[in-house]
Amino acid sequence: MTTITITEALAEVPTISKRIEKKANFIGSFLFRQSAVRDPHEKDGGSAVLIAREFQAIRDLQNRLINIRAAVQRANSEHVITIGSETKSIADWLTWRREIVEFDRRFLGQLTSALKQMRDDANKKGVAVTDKDPGGYSADYVVNINEKELSEKIENIETVMGTLDGKLSLANATILIEVP
């Protein structure tokens, strides 16, 4: 078992991938030869033996990669981060950042744009914009959302994103994981 930080583990991932690719290229280069050509690896047991070793090395590296990813996932599930009043596991924060935040940004931005267009339209038509239904027939526009809260939601997303990146970097640099 090796004890390393998440940052160290994640830095190892691209190196492992490059080593796997290099070993795969080696195997491809010595996959076959004409029998009249001398085996360039004869003194090391032959190309077939080296290819078998490289296959084993690839499997070992792939297992190391799996072990690193699994250890990081375990750590991310076990450790929590609090931003403002929200506490979530690192895994949940990462899912939020990867799968939710862009929708929220786009959706809230569309709502803000629609409200701006409506206000511009109301201004051109000379009608009022209100947050209370005046009752009866009126050409006035009634806004059915609290615009202050909408603005706060947009601002909160940006605040959380800025804070999250810093907290994730700190967590990755300080959380130790055990990699078999």
5-33 residue pLDDT tens: 999 999 999 999 999 999 999 999 999 99
Q: Would 115 be classed as within a structural domain?
A: yes
Q: Are residues 86 and 64 in the same domain?
A: no
pLDDT surpassing 90 at residue 145? yes
Cα–Cα distance for residue pair 152/62, rounded to 1 Å: 46
Q: Would 179 be classed as within a structural domain?
A: no
pLDDT recorded at residue 93:
98
Q: Are residues 35 and 94 in the same domain?
A: no
pLDDT surpassing 80 at residue 135? no
What is the domain extent for residue 170?
80-174
Residue 5, strand partner residues:
176
Cα–Cα distance for residue pair 121/134, rounded to 1 Å: 19
pLDDT recorded at residue 166:
96
Single out the residue of 108, 109, 144, 140 nearest to residue 125, CA to CA.
140
Helical packing angle, 101-125 and 147-174, nearest 10°: 160
Instruction: For 25-73, give the DSSP string.
Output: HHHHHTS---TTSPPTTGGGT-HHHHHHHHHHHHHHHHHHHHHHHHHHH
Helix (H, G, I), strand (E, B) or coil at 83: strand
pLDDT recorded at residue 134:
74
Residue 4, strand partner residues:
177
Pairing, β 2-5 against β 129-130? unpaired
Q: Are residues 107 and 144 in the same domain?
A: yes
Q: Are residues 16 and 64 in the same domain?
A: yes
Is the pTM here over 0.85, yes or no?
A: no
Query: Domain boundary at 22, 45, 78, which?
Result: 78
Q: Would 86 be classed as within a structural domain?
A: yes
pLDDT recorded at residue 137:
78
Q: Would 26 be classed as within a structural domain?
A: yes
pLDDT recorded at residue 51:
97
**R_g (Cα) of the chain, nearest Å:** 29
Q: Are residues 135 and 110 in the same domain?
A: yes
Q: Mean pLDDT, to the nearest integer, of 64-83?
A: 98
pLDDT recorded at residue 139:
86
Cα–Cα distance for residue pair 131/173, rounded to 1 Å: 49
Q: Would 57 be classed as within a structural domain?
A: yes
pLDDT surpassing 80 at residue 136? no
Say how many domains are in the chain.
2
Query: Domain boundary at 53, 78, 103, which?
Result: 78
Q: Would 180 be classed as within a structural domain?
A: no
Query: What does the mean pLDDT of the chain come to?
Result: 96
Query: Domain boundary at 26, 54, 78, which?
Result: 78
pLDDT digits (tens, 9 = 90+) for 98-119: 999 999 999 999 999 999 999 9
pLDDT surpassing 80 at residue 144? yes
pLDDT recorded at residue 133:
82
Listed in sequence order, the residues at least 6 apart from 7 whose beta carbon sits closer than 8 Å to its beta carbon are: 172, 173
pLDDT surpassing 90 at residue 146? yes
